A and B are shown apart, each in its own frame.
Chain A
Amino acid sequence: MGEKIVAVIATLRTALTAVALMLIGIGSATAQGSVVVYCGVDEAWCRAMTTTYEKQTGVHVDMTRQSAGEIYARLRAEKENPRGDIWWGGTGDPHLQAADEGLTEEYKSAMLPQLQDWAQRQAERSKFRTVGIYLGALGFGYNKEELARRKLAAPACWSDLVKPEFKGEVQMADPNSSGTAWTTLATILQLMGEEPGFAYLKKLHANINEYTKAGAAPAQSAGKGETLIGIAFQHDVIDVAKRNFPVQVVSPCEGTGYEIGSQSIIKGARHPEQARKFYDWALTVDAQKIGAANRSYQIPSNAAAPIPPEAPDLSKIKLIEYDFAKYGSSAVRVAVLGRWSAEVKNAPR
């Protein structure tokens, strides 16, 4: 009799719990635990990472996709009370900045020795608060049809972009709002030196039709023909080209800068153990193959991971010695952006 009552109560309790769970919409409390991921790359890639990890481990992944800038803003807003566990993907500067401000946690993964040099250097720079997961080189793309229609020579170098025939035909993002454009600015200054660099940017300004808000927008516009040339990361241009738009990617002849897409564990994470497991997994060969399968053609950081055939060939790209310490610091950033806004952006065309 007593057992019966216990059984009934147990059943009721289960039923009630189930109803409550359904009502509140929480089916996440699985036995394997869960991890909250802020994902800073393309939606499809984020989703594929999530589902693959869930399939392989049974851990529930609660993923939010936002741009690196949005995630950084979120970490700062949530500083007192972090809700995310791991920030995976997105350009390296905000990761470094977050590391600098103590928003992220130090962690030395056992996977570190397997990584490419540039990825390990990223970790050392941040005192192991972040690590490189992919590399993307800067460049530009031009619309082949529009170029042919106007019978112009294809641009191959940064210096081609300031030619008078491209007046009103070049698009780049606004470095005040886009990490990609900030990389562009820093690249030009490192390549040419501070003063000649600004002289170049002023000349370029005469050819710019719009400073877009989002970093990948110029690549999109070039693909659609809304602009002739768009300055963006090469993998973004390749992605547009793979969607059957007549756009050609160019790696500038003078050399070019790059970003190191990174991941960091958030300080005060609610599931630190799970965050570290995801972190390690994301550095494995298997996990790093997922990007190319989902149209993201960056170069993976695990030295053993295959480089996607579509990715820009690193041996043919001249990468500059990018000074992440200098151009990642807030002070330099504020100064350079201030000067750029005052002298370049607001100058008459």
Chain B
Amino acid sequence: MERRSEERAALTGSGVIGAQQQEAGLSRAWVAFGVFALAVLPWYGLETPMASVLGWRAEAAPALFQGRSWLLPLGIPLVMALTGRPGFLMAAGVCGLAWMLGEGVVIGPRGAGLTQPAMGWGAAAYALCCAALASIGLARRGWCRGDVFVVGSLLTVLGLILLFVGYPVVRILKSAFESNDGGFAPALFAQKFFSAGIWGLDCLDGGKACGVAWNTLAEAMLVGVLATGLGLAFALVAVRTQLPFRPLVRLLSLLPVITPPFVIGLALILLFGRVGVVTNFLGEYFGIPRTRWIYGMAGITIAQVLAFTPIAFLVLSGVLAAVSPSLEEAAQTLRAGRWHVFRTVTWPLIRPGLANAFLISFIESLADFANPLMLGGNFNVLATDIFFAVVGAAHDQGRAAVLALVLLVFTLTAFLAQRAWTGSRSYATVTGKGDSGLSAPLPKALRLACLSVVLPWLVLTIVVYAIILGGGFVVTFGRDYTPTLHYLLTAFSIDHGVGGWFLSGSGWRSFITTMELAAIATPVTAALGLLTAYLLNRQSFAGKSTFEFLAMMSFAIPGTVIGISYILAFNVPPVELTGTGVIIIISFVFRNMPVGIRAGMASLAQIDRSLDEASMTLRARSFRTLRLVILPILRPAIITAMVYSFVRAVTTVSAVIFLVSGEYNLSTVYIVGRADVGEYGVALVYSAVLIVVMAAVLVGISTLVGRQQIGRRGMLGAAPASEMV
């Protein structure tokens, strides 16, 4: 009897009696974990976690032995949860979390009365336990078809996003409305927000500079248009022609992904600066006066277009490949000329792709920090202004918060526009049915136009990369071309001393830290991203679109804004992370998670739900299905997500420049510092090493893992995933 009802329940996907018994055990196990969090793990301080358990230091004692009476009520929810009744479980989770957050916010580190330091591992474990208890309760009430795993992951992911994306953004908002001594000052906010420095339009009627907001917008528009146009030209050449250098285009399109962002700017200075190689040549042989045109909008535009064209190219080549040849063939059979076909069939089909590419380059340009830092000259943009508002002689954190707010509004608007645009329209023309036609050849004029843009640009890209890779191996680029290993040895020498071999180069420490932190962040990013993708694609729950928006939002938050918001949010208890490696890892994870989500969603969309259903019918629950059925098929997406998040973590600079500390310095910040004091040699050598290492990682992983193929679906899934890298 019981068995039959179980089968019926499994088929309908609702609660199961056997599972309920299992969950009673589960809730007890979580209660035990909660006791462990309160009675064994150190409640305060993340810095000396395990060591302090063993050494039993007073401050790091577990919550129950702290002698701080307000921590004792934390035990009550655990007792409540022992009853195992759904209502009690939910109440236990909610009350436990609420009390913990409440006492954490109310009782600060300093003051006349009660004090306490920042929360530590015990607190983190206790929060996890509360979330788990609440999820068990909710699941037993029938949420998400009674699936504890789904409810639990949902709550955990949501909690993490709220803590590490939502809360810092709210903190920026709060800071924007504060005066410098901490009071609430809306008038000051209005004054700062509407200041001429941000919105002034003086440049239209005279020689004065315009407000920084207009500068940023104009720059981003220009870069968006140029990068999209170039990307389209490249995509047409790569997808629709048979020219011999097509593989080169693909290869070069990968390079910017593994390039630390500011080195392109550095190379441009060495080429086109007032004493750059090209400038010298033109000056000596053609008498063209040396100017400083590269410093300003022109230089930033070239550098950003160099950096973002490949992204536009990847988007557009995907779109072009998805235009079914049969439509074009149909037009041709109706006697349309090449140009007519392109204009009336191909173009309308790729238009949404163009908008998408434009918006992505637009957002990237808005958020770009490194190139304006190197090449800005007198041309200010928001991302760098935020930085200098914090670190400059003005020390105006309030102004930084206001500027960050303006930038955030811009990027989020573009992000929403992009979602609205790509979400509501479907232009897919490739179907499962036979589709073996040939694409129409490009009109001659268009082909020529594409080539005339693509070829010079290719040459520029190659020259820029030649400088980046080789510039650090000559004495002074542009003046003295004697080959030297001096800079390489300065940064990466290995010496033999009394204690054996040791790394004596000045760059080793930051290099190793970077690799370590990125390596820790990578699997976490991928796991969290794919779990979120699974929830979004396979489960339905209330507020799903809000959840998706929150999860993807961090992609649109510029790095500088993340950096400053993390300092504001996580410097003081209850959550104190600044100066640790943890905060850097967290910033990596939440900045790069959307990439994992996208890769996961794209692959999941290609896996038929019937597979899940089959597994469910065989009475596997969601976690088992995920582990045994979906994960193996998702392997290409997992690899994409991991590689991409690793590479992005290593090359990012804008967010972490605020977060590094003596103990945890990172490669990119180190290189910016070297370039800042004019040691271009070391900066170039270090960048070259990073690029080579990253390329090795890319190649290594793809040869090690190979292309995963599971039937025909797997082949379909593998292609777009590997293209994303």
Given A29-B51, A216-B677, A346-B209, A178:B295 Cβ within 8 A? no
Confirm or deny: B104 has a beta carbon within 8 angstroms of a beta carbon on chain A. no
Instruction: Give B50's nearest chain A residue, CB to CB.
Output: A20
- Residue in B108, B292, B393 whose Cβ sees the most chain A Cβ within 10 Å: B393
Instruction: Give A143's nearest chain B residue, CB to CB.
Output: B275
> How would you classify the secondary structure of chain B's contact residues: helix, strand, loop or mixed?
loop
Complex partner residue of B391 from A28, A63, A67, CB under 8 angstroms? A67
Given A20-B51, A20-B54, A210:B207 Cβ within 8 A? no
B397 & A346 in contact (Cβ 8 Å cutoff): no
B391 & A69 in contact (Cβ 8 Å cutoff): yes
Given A29-B51, A43-B673, A210-B295, A178:B392 Cβ within 8 A? yes
- Residues on B with beta carbons closer than 8 Å to the beta carbon of A216: 676-677
- Residues on A with beta carbons closer than 8 Å to the beta carbon of B50: 16-17, 19-21, 23-24
Number of A-B contacts (CB under 8 A): 140
Complex partner residue of A81 from B206, B391, B571, B581, CB under 8 angstroms? B571
| B 157-182 binary contact with A (CB < 8 Å = 1; else 0) | 00000000000000000000000000
Q: List 8 A-B contacts (CB under 8 A).
A: A13-B54, A36-B662, A69-B392, A78-B578, A80-B571, A174-B392, A179-B393, A214-B676
Confirm or deny: B33 has a beta carbon within 8 angstroms of a beta carbon on chain A. no
B393 & A42 in contact (Cβ 8 Å cutoff): no
- Residues on A with beta carbons closer than 8 Å to the beta carbon of B393: 69, 93-94, 175-179, 181-182
B395 & A80 in contact (Cβ 8 Å cutoff): no
B208 & A346 in contact (Cβ 8 Å cutoff): yes
Confirm or deny: A318 has a beta carbon within 8 angstroms of a beta carbon on chain B. no
Confirm or deny: A203 has a beta carbon within 8 angstroms of a beta carbon on chain B. no
B275 & A226 in contact (Cβ 8 Å cutoff): yes
- Residues on B with beta carbons closer than 8 Å to the beta carbon of A81: 109-110, 118, 571-573, 576
| A 60-97 binary contact with B (CB < 8 Å = 1; else 0) | 00111111011011001110110100000000011000
Complex partner residue of A348 from B208, B568, B578, CB under 8 angstroms? B208
**Residues 257 to 297 of chain B near chain A (Cβ within 8 Å):** 269, 273-275, 292, 295
Confirm or deny: A156 has a beta carbon within 8 angstroms of a beta carbon on chain B. no
CA distance A23 to B46 in the complex (A): 13
Q: Which chain B residues have a beta carbon within 8 Å of chain A's beta carbons?
A: 47-51, 54-55, 108-110, 118, 202, 206-209, 269, 273-275, 292, 295, 373, 376-378, 384, 388, 390-395, 397, 476, 506, 516, 567-568, 571-573, 576, 578-579, 581, 660-663, 673, 676-678
CB of A14 to closest CB in B, whole Å: 9
CA distance A349 to B581 in the complex (A): 47
Given A69-B393, A240-B678, A227:B202 Cβ within 8 A? no
Complex partner residue of B292 from A29, A76, A226, CB under 8 angstroms? A226
CA distance A62 to B476 in the complex (A): 33
CA distance A42 to B677 in the complex (A): 9
Q: Sorted from nearest, which 4 A-B pairs have the closest CB atoms?
A: A177-B392, A20-B50, A348-B207, A64-B662
Instruction: Give A36's nearest chain B residue, CB to CB.
Output: B662
**Residues 33 to 51 of chain A near chain B (Cβ within 8 Å):** 36-37, 42-43, 47
B378 & A348 in contact (Cβ 8 Å cutoff): no
Complex partner residue of B49 from A24, A168, A226, CB under 8 angstroms? A24
CA distance A346 to B211 in the complex (A): 11
Instruction: Give A349's nearest chain B residue, CB to CB.
Output: B207
CA distance A177 to B390 in the complex (A): 9
CB of A338 to closest CB in B, whole Å: 11
CA distance A27 to B394 in the complex (A): 37
Complex partner residue of A80 from B109, B209, B661, CB under 8 angstroms? B109
CA distance A63 to B661 in the complex (A): 8
Instruction: Give B400's nearest chain A residue, CB to CB.
Output: A73
Inter-chain pairs besides A24-B49, A176-B394, A348-B206, 18 sampled, C-beta below 8 Å: A17-B51, A19-B50, A29-B48, A43-B673, A69-B391, A73-B391, A80-B572, A81-B576, A93-B393, A94-B393, A94-B395, A176-B393, A178-B392, A210-B295, A211-B378, A226-B269, A226-B275, A337-B394
Given A21-B51, A69-B395, A77-B397, A62:B678 Cβ within 8 A? no
Complex partner residue of A223 from B202, B373, B662, B678, CB under 8 angstroms? B678
Confirm or deny: A144 has a beta carbon within 8 angstroms of a beta carbon on chain B. no
Instruction: Give A145's nearest chain B residue, CB to CB.
Output: B275
- Residues on B with beta carbons closer than 8 Å to the beta carbon of A271: none
CA distance A5 to B516 in the complex (A): 37
- Residues on B with beta carbons closer than 8 Å to the beta carbon of A223: 678
CA distance A73 to B114 in the complex (A): 28
CB of B676 to closest CB in A, whole Å: 6
Complex partner residue of A73 from B208, B395, B676, CB under 8 angstroms? B395
- Residues on B with beta carbons closer than 8 Å to the beta carbon of A224: 273, 275, 678
Instruction: Give A180's nearest chain B residue, CB to CB.
Output: B393
- Residues on B with beta carbons closer than 8 Å to the beta carbon of A13: 54
B677 & A213 in contact (Cβ 8 Å cutoff): no
- Residues on A with beta carbons closer than 8 Å to the beta carbon of B206: 348
| A 306-349 binary contact with B (CB < 8 Å = 1; else 0) | 00000000000000000000000000000001000000001111
- Residues on A with beta carbons closer than 8 Å to the beta carbon of B55: 17
CB of A250 to closest CB in B, whole Å: 19
Complex partner residue of B578 from A16, A37, A83, A176, CB under 8 angstroms? A83
Instruction: Give A239's nearest chain B residue, CB to CB.
Output: B677
- Residues on A with beta carbons closer than 8 Å to the beta carbon of B567: 77
CA distance A73 to B579 in the complex (A): 15
- Residues on A with beta carbons closer than 8 Å to the beta carbon of B273: 224, 226
CA distance A224 to B479 in the complex (A): 9
Confirm or deny: A209 has a beta carbon within 8 angstroms of a beta carbon on chain B. yes
A62 & B677 in contact (Cβ 8 Å cutoff): no
CB of B326 to closest CB in A, whole Å: 56
Instruction: Give A37's nearest chain B residue, CB to CB.
Output: B662
- Residues on B with beta carbons closer than 8 Å to the beta carbon of A47: 506
CB of A171 to closest CB in B, whole Å: 10
**Residues 127 to 149 of chain A near chain B (Cβ within 8 Å):** none
B378 & A26 in contact (Cβ 8 Å cutoff): no
Instruction: Give A243's nearest chain B residue, CB to CB.
Output: B678
B392 & A63 in contact (Cβ 8 Å cutoff): no
Instruction: Give A63's nearest chain B residue, CB to CB.
Output: B662
- Residues on B with beta carbons closer than 8 Å to the beta carbon of A73: 390-391, 395, 397
B108 & A80 in contact (Cβ 8 Å cutoff): yes
Complex partner residue of A72 from B395, B516, B581, B673, CB under 8 angstroms? B395
CA distance A182 to B392 in the complex (A): 11
A220 & B395 in contact (Cβ 8 Å cutoff): no
CA distance A179 to B269 in the complex (A): 25
Instruction: Give B274's nearest chain A residue, CB to CB.
Output: A226
A62 & B51 in contact (Cβ 8 Å cutoff): no
Instruction: Give B681's nearest chain A residue, CB to CB.
Output: A243
- Residues on A with beta carbons closer than 8 Å to the beta carbon of B673: 43, 65
Confirm or deny: A25 has a beta carbon within 8 angstroms of a beta carbon on chain B. yes
CB of B207 to closest CB in A, whole Å: 3
Confirm or deny: A225 has a beta carbon within 8 angstroms of a beta carbon on chain B. yes
CA distance A128 to B311 in the complex (A): 56
- Residues on A with beta carbons closer than 8 Å to the beta carbon of B662: 36-37, 62-65
Instruction: Give B676's nearest chain A residue, CB to CB.
Output: A214
- Residues on B with beta carbons closer than 8 Å to the beta carbon of A37: 662
Instruction: Give A225's nearest chain B residue, CB to CB.
Output: B275
B51 & A177 in contact (Cβ 8 Å cutoff): no
B292 & A209 in contact (Cβ 8 Å cutoff): yes
CA distance A225 to B279 in the complex (A): 12
- Residues on B with beta carbons closer than 8 Å to the beta carbon of A227: 274, 292
CB of A297 to closest CB in B, whole Å: 14
A346 & B378 in contact (Cβ 8 Å cutoff): no
- Residues on A with beta carbons closer than 8 Å to the beta carbon of B678: 220, 223-224, 240, 243
- Residues on B with beta carbons closer than 8 Å to the beta carbon of A76: 395, 397
CA distance A346 to B203 in the complex (A): 10
- Residues on A with beta carbons closer than 8 Å to the beta carbon of B390: 70, 73
- Residues on B with beta carbons closer than 8 Å to the beta carbon of A94: 393, 395
Instruction: Give B197's nearest chain A residue, CB to CB.
Output: A341
B663 & A177 in contact (Cβ 8 Å cutoff): no
CA distance A70 to B389 in the complex (A): 10
- Residues on B with beta carbons closer than 8 Å to the beta carbon of A77: 397, 567-568, 571
- Residues on A with beta carbons closer than 8 Å to the beta carbon of B663: 25, 28, 62
**Residues 212 to 233 of chain A near chain B (Cβ within 8 Å):** 213-214, 216-217, 220, 223-227
